[in-house]
């Protein structure tokens, strides 16, 4: 485990860690400067304006509008500089690059279950290469957790029933601490792990040594078929009772309440667990809920499969209404999948 030259500052090992450190040094410097300034001024006034005689009455001192404006404007400018700097780093951290490698993370009392997009699985460890952007797609099986890598200066809540995103790009090889930074139960302190940063060639060799595991997209396709989802949501539009899923992810979805949204991981998950919440325009809310029937890992697999579907003949994203009234699923014997786009 690498250490820092200052014991209270973790190793700086990502592209964003230096920016975060600079901001914190700035905040600390401003705090120290004004603490010393105010402490010094108070000490000076206590000495200079102390009562020298028991019956001494001090002369009145008139206020200064210029001085009041000065000590209002300067702190305001400093505070706004902190806000602008912090906002810039926040937006950089909250917007994963489009070319990032996706890694799925599931928090569970009390472990981290991790799967690469190529299928490799890890428990409480994450192998990554230097110089490649890694996007973490995270959810929880039980309670609130928090994925925290001090050396990378990234930290994000991991919530049940929701997906949160975080990304990083490692800059130094080594092994770095992974913590759960949200109290999650009796063994919270033991929910730790390691981030193992490798040279790209070493990482590729590590991947090639773990090729016997099925990718989430392939597993999701099998699950999609076994649940009968294809009877309503054919990848290329067959089925007819539900919207096509080809090209769905990242596209615009038009709902029957005249609202429009973007199809992301959270939307697809809600479509599976609570299909009546947001129904696509032109379709009926006939899909039953799958909540409790698929695990968080299986949801990730289905989402990964839907992500892999591409449009062979791009058309308008507005779905057409079905040609005939859809029969209830109970009458057809089919198990429909998300009745959403």
Residues 256 and 184 in one domain: no
Does residue 4 sit within a domain? no
Residues 245 and 159 in one domain: no
Does residue 16 sit within a domain? yes
Residues paired with residue 261 on neighbouring β-strands, in sequence order? 253
Residues paired with residue 148 on neighbouring β-strands, in sequence order? 155, 179
Does residue 340 sit within a domain? no
State the Cα–Cα distance between residues 78 and 143, nearest whole angstrom. 39
pLDDT digits (tens, 9 = 90+) for 222-262: 888 888 888 887 656 555 677 888 888 888 888 888 888 88
Residues 204 and 245 in one domain: no
Q: What is the DSSP string of 275-309?
A: TTSSPBTT--S-PPP-TTTS-HHHHHHHHHHHHH-
Residues 157 and 30 in one domain: yes
Residues 190 and 241 in one domain: no
Q: CA angle, corner 219, sides to 130 and 156, nearest 5?
A: 45
Residues 311 and 198 in one domain: no
Q: From the CB of residue 261, how many other CB atoms can be counted at a distance below 10 Å?
A: 13
State the CATH number of the domain containing residue 38.
Answer: 2.60.40.420
Arithmetic mean of pLDDT over the chain? 83
CA atoms within 13 A on the CB side of 269: 21
Residues 155 and 222 in one domain: no
pLDDT digits (tens, 9 = 90+) for 316-340: 333 333 333 333 333 333 334 454 4
In the numeric block, the tokens 């070319």 are attached to 99
The reported pLDDT for the residue numbered 151 is 93
Count: domains in the chain = 2
State the Cα–Cα distance between residues 341 and 339, nearest whole angstrom. 7
Which structure tokens are listed for 50?
A: 């102390």
Does residue 54 sit within a domain? no
Residues 15 and 78 in one domain: yes
- Relative orientation angle of helices 296-308 and 265-273, to the nearest 10 degrees: 120
Residues 192 and 291 in one domain: no
Sequence-distant (≥ 6) Cβ neighbours of residue 225 within 8 angstroms: none
Residues 149 and 25 in one domain: yes
Say how many residues make up the chain. Answer: 341
Q: End-to-end CA distance of the chain: give it in Å, rounded.
A: 46
Q: Which structural domain range is residue 123 located in?
A: 10-44+63-213
Q: Can you point out the beta strands (E) in 141-242?
A: 145-149, 154-158, 164-169, 174-180, 192-198
Q: What is the pLDDT along the chain (341 residues), one digit of tens a residue?
A: 444 555 678 888 999 999 999 999 999 999 999 999 999 999 999 998 888 888 878 778 777 888 899 989 999 999 999 999 999 999 998 888 888 999 999 999 999 999 998 888 899 999 999 999 999 999 999 999 999 999 999 999 999 988 999 999 999 999 999 999 999 999 999 999 999 999 999 998 888 876 667 788 888 888 888 888 888 876 565 556 778 888 888 888 888 888 888 888 888 888 888 888 888 888 888 888 888 888 888 888 888 888 888 754 434 333 333 333 333 333 333 334 454 43
Does residue 339 sit within a domain? no
For residue 304, report the phi and psi dihedrals to the nearest 5 degrees: -60, -40
Residues 205 and 81 in one domain: yes
Residues 84 and 160 in one domain: yes
Does residue 238 sit within a domain? yes
Q: CA angle, corner 159, sides to 153 and 165, nearest 5?
A: 45
For residue 231, report the phi and psi dihedrals to the nearest 5 degrees: -65, -25
Which of 185, 213, 241 is where one domain is finished? Answer: 213
Which of 195, 213, 231 is where one domain is finished? Answer: 213
Which of 213, 231, 249 is where one domain is finished? Answer: 213
Which structure tokens are listed for 230?
A: 């294809």
The reported pLDDT for the residue numbered 210 is 66
């Amino acid at each position: 485990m690498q250490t820092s030259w200052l014991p209270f500052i973790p190793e700086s090992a990502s592209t964003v860690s230096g920016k975060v450190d600079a901001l914190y040094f700035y905040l600390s410097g401003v705090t120290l400067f004004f603490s010393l300034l105010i402490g010094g001024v108070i000490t000076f006034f206590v000495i200079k304006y102390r009562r020298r005689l028991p019956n001494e009455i001090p002369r009145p001192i008139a206020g200064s509008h210029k001085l009041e404006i000065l000590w209002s404007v300067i702190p305001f400018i400093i505070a706004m500089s902190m806000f602008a700097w912090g906002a810039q780093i926040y937006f950089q951290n909250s917007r994963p690059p489009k070319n990032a490698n996706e890694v799925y993370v599931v928090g569970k009392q009390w472990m981290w279950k991790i799967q690469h997009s190529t299928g490799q699985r890890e428990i409480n460890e994450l192998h990554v290469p230097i110089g490649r952007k890694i996007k973490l797609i995270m959810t929880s099986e039980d309670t609130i957790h928090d994925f925290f890598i001090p050396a990378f200066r990234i930290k994000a809540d991991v919530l049940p029933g929701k997906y949160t995103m975080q990304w990083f790009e490692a800059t130094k090889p080594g092994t770095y601490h992974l913590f759960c930074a949200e109290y999650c139960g009796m063994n919270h302190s033991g929910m730790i792990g390691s981030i193992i940063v490798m040279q790209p060639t070493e990482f590729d060799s590590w991947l090639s040594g773990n090729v016997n595991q099925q990718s989430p997209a392939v597993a999701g396709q099998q699950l999609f078929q076994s649940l009968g989802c294809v009877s309503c949501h054919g990848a290329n539009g067959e089925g007819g009772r539900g919207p096509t899923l080809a090209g769905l992810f990242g596209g615009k979805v038009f709902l029957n309440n005249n609202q429009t949204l973007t199809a992301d991981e959270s939307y697809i998950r809600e479509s599976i667990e609570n299909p009546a919440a947001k129904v696509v325009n032109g379709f009926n809310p006939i899909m039953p809920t799958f909540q409790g029937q698929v695990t968080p890992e299986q949801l990730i697999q289905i989402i990964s499969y839907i992500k892999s579907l591409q449009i062979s003949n791009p058309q308008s994203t507005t779905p057409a209404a079905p040609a005939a009234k859809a029969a209830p699923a109970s009458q057809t014997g089919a198990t429909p999948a998300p009745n959403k786009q």
